[in-house]
Amino acid sequence: MSVQGKRVVLAVTGGIAAFKSASLASQLTQAGAKVQVMMTKAAKEFIAPLTFQALTRSRVYDDTFREENPEEIAHIDVADEADVIVVAPATADAIARMAQGHADDMVTTTLLATKAPVFVSPAMNVNMYHHPAVQKNLQTLADRGVKMLEAGDGYLACGWVGKGRMAEPVEIQNALEAFFTKPLTLQGVHVLVTAGPTREMADPVRFLSNPSSGRMGFAIAEEAARRGAEVTLIAGPVELSTPPEVHRVNVVSAEEMYNAVTKHLSAEAIVVKTAAVSDYRPKTYQAQKAKKEDGETVLELERTPDILKMLGEQKEAQFLVGFAAETDEVETYAKDKLERKNLDMVVANDITADGAGFAGDTNEVMIMTKEETHRLPALTKRETSVQIWDAVEQNRCKGQG
């Protein structure tokens, strides 16, 4: 399947790269897409709405309050009918407004109202692009499931050379073609993913936990759903949006996660346990907050349920994938975990390495089975999830063959 027949909403914001959006609108229209253009007030300073109207042969939406049809609420109708929304160019201001949830023009109100997937193509000065505020806003959007079209390097309109060019129209079209050409290789397969940390409460305000962000697990759940799987995501306390087509179960403690896994495990599921479950919990819970004035205290700990061990012991037809976050002798400990817990595959990484820790958007892992070890370069967690699923499918087919 391609973009033919798809309703593509193109949101144009106020940057000089808006001229590229005209080419994009033309290319998508020629490819058979039904292109609906929205423009911000600033975008009209760079390119006229009439240009897009001529290229797409459709009305251009540029004013939330100008309703030509009294039976229509434009931003709701556009949001509901969209198969995908592409924000290109996405200026620093537009990205900030999206991240903060603004709703005061046609573009922002539509983005808040839509359930369609959203692609963003940043375009700005190189220093603006690398500013921590912009990077934080991009990460916020990515955590909500917005798909990023990476900015290009090169000569910028401001005279600087560096990263900040809007992706070329052909690159954006290719990304959309790839998105709509879904290989449903996991259609009908039940997938169970655990993600994030757990919290083991000591009193009403204190707990034992770890810095797991849940991003790797959420990326894995999203990719599985994209391949057609029926996905259940059991998530610890994280601030991430649920990926499309994923059933989410929220838990807090290791005990709750254990119970949720037991409840939702199916006989022939693929289980990917990325969650960083606390190994220990306070032996007793204090109903009242401990005070400094109480002096020194000793916190007695006990082991939490070993979810992965339980899964390995009870495994029948399931394909079981574990994660090993280590600080030294990564391959040795990962191989031991693979054997000791009866896993089909383990994904291991050194959390002390640059770009491979809990909180970042990148990871550098090795994928291990009993037969082989495959080392991946540093990739985004979304890219890593694709590689992991490719490996799972390949090895699962071997086991079934």
Q: Per DSSP, what are the bridge partners of residue 60?
A: 37
Angle at CA 10, nearest 5°, toward 7 and 11? 140
**Which one from 16, 31, 48, 158 is the annotated catalytic residue?**
158
Annotated binding site for CTP: 279, 289, 305-308, 323, 337, 341
Distance CA 225, CA 244 (A): 8
Annotated binding site: 279, 289, 305-308, 323, 337, 341
Pairing of strands 345-350, 365-368: antiparallel
Active site (annotated) includes residue 397:
no
**Residues that are catalytic:** 158
